[in-house]
Structure 1
């Protein structure tokens, strides 16, 4: 289908107008957020990417966004409204938007959609995600070195492969750093709910955890850790207002370069459905500054781990590794395939508890 910009250009030329006598419509780009923009966390950094698009393209691009959109029927309604209102490209930024994105995209084949962290694609639907497990490995190493109780905690959002990978990677590298480490996992069943996150953090503290990792988006766990004298990490953004402690480092999502590249592809007419999964090396996963609370030798070890992952010399899931039930998963020196990681639905050996259905 010919775009409205091409039609406008053709009409201008047919009327004998010069190339400077007509203004090309801006590319209209929409963003759908599962939580509030706020001042940190997952949605905040997706919105930072949106702002980077505006800064980069200026008047050539118009962006819109909708925040606090529940995953489900409401998402489908919001996406339909965006498609009907002339958006050329729509980014849907949460796993639970996957089916609504696919459903709406089928009704609007001339609109391009990009879904974050999902696995379903179509001719007009691309997917993108970050290899968060690389950053979780680094946070896990720090956690293993910093715990004094030998108990670390993890606040999970939903029991999907992305979150399970992070739990496994964190535990594996905490255990390598400190063989005496145990991990407690609490599922909050939310991406963003400060009250639930605070309750989860307190429950982990009550179980003896003095270092807590999280795959939820608010700073509420850090506030609880500050009260208790424990340590935690910024999630999806630096959360540096809690540095130097309890926030001792962070895993940071940098979506801006990806968003700029994909909008440019729409402008150039080269956009195609692709599956992108980038990590530390391309910069999609960033690691926040190591707090001075962390001993100098641990900071050096952690930096070395980061560099080995970035260079490709080390993969966080390298065998020998067993599943929780003791069955073999990866042999000595064997590296997990992307397919295995994308479908991960099991805990590694040594993690207590069950993954909820």
Structure 2
């Protein structure tokens, strides 16, 4: 990883491995963790991260199998279901950022914020979901477009 060569000022990873955050700290850039709290491995660099807590989900699903009630389905537990949480926010983050982030966490947990609610505009400026509408599960699964503000092209 040569973040300093590529001009990155933050590294993210999806490996559930501390190495990318450790390398970010060595390079003097920030990191954002995934799957587990990586702050103990990169105390100066780790801003926060998504922490997955699969334990209660697996216990529930195994119990369903044992009870004979298991059915295949998609899992959208997220923050409100206790499956996802955020690692502690680094002290270097401005208070306003931490306050905004914890406010979003709270709204997601309470169900007062739906990240798939419109209006949602794609990268070409086309409204995909109108105000008052929400992406369906199928639309989320089949998403093949970037939202406004994301530059790039999908692989063909």
* Range into which the TM-score falls when normalised by the shorter chain: 0.7 to 0.9
Partner of 1:258: 57
Residue 13 of structure 2 corresponds to residue 214 of structure 1: yes
Aligned equivalent of 1:338, options 126, 137, 142: 137
Deviation at 1:278, TM superposition (A): 1.2
Tell me the TM-score normalized by structure 1.
Answer: 0.40
Residue 106 of structure 2 corresponds to residue 307 of structure 1: yes
Deviation at 1:336, TM superposition (A): 2.1
Moved over 6 A (4+): none
- SS of 1:272's partner is coil
- SS of 2:65's partner is helix
Aligned partners of 1:244 and 1:292 also within 8 Å: no
The answer to which structure, 1 or 2, has the higher relative contact order (CA under 8 A, 6+ apart) is 1
1:289-315 deviations in Å (ceiling 9; x for gaps): 112121223211211111011111111
Deviation at 1:243, TM superposition (A): 4.4
Partner of 1:242: 41
Aligned equivalent of 1:281, options 58, 80, 83: 80
* Distance in 2 of aligned mates of 1:226 and 1:344: 34
Tell me the TM-score normalized by structure 2.
Answer: 0.85
**Structure 1 gap ranges (5+):** 1-197
Query: What RMSD in Å do the two structures reach over aligned CA positions?
Result: 2.1
- SS of 1:341's partner is helix
* Distance in 2 of aligned mates of 1:350 and 1:247: 25
Give runs of aligned pairs for residues 15-30 of structure 1, distance below 5 A: none
Residue 65 of structure 2 corresponds to residue 269 of structure 1: no
**Structure 2 gap ranges (5+):** none
Whichever of the two has the greater Rg, that structure is 1
- SS of 1:275's partner is coil
**Structure that is richer in helix per residue:** 1
Partner of 2:149: 350
1:66-92 deviations in Å (ceiling 9; x for gaps): xxxxxxxxxxxxxxxxxxxxxxxxxxx
Aligned partners of 1:326 and 1:349 also within 8 Å: yes
Deviation at 1:252, TM superposition (A): 1.0
- SS of 1:271's partner is coil
* Distance in 1 of aligned mates of 2:118 and 2:71: 36
Deviation at 1:284, TM superposition (A): 0.7
* Distance in 1 of aligned mates of 2:142 and 2:150: 18
Change (3 A) 1:333 1:225: farther
